[in-house]
Amino acid sequence: MPDRPYVIDEMISAKAIAARVEALAKEITRAFRGTDKLVVVGLLRGSFVFIADLVREIDLPVEVDFLEASSYGDAMQSSREVRILKDLRGEISGRDVLVVEDIVDTGFTLSHVVNLLRSRVPKRLEVCALLDKPSRREVAIKATWTGFEIPDEFVVGYGIDFAQRNRNLPYIGAVHFTGDGA
- Domains of the chain, start order: 13-150 (3.40.50.2020)
Lowest mean pLDDT among 62-66, 69-73, 88-92, 137-141: 69-73
pLDDT surpasses 90 at 158: yes
pTM here?
0.91
pLDDT digits (tens, 9 = 90+) for 97-151: 999 999 999 999 999 999 999 999 999 999 999 999 999 999 999 999 999 999 9
**What is the rounded radius of gyration, in angstroms, for the C-alpha atoms of the chain?**
17
φ and ψ at residue 27, rounded to 5 degrees? -65, -40
Give how far Cα 53 sits from Cα of 17, 43, 131, 167, 173, Å. 10, 14, 15, 15, 18
Choose, from 9, 105, 152, 161, the residue flagged as catalytic. Answer: 105
Judge whether 87 counts as a catalytic residue: no
List all residues 6 or more positions away from 81 whose beta carbon is below 8 Å from its beta carbon.
Answer: 71, 72, 73
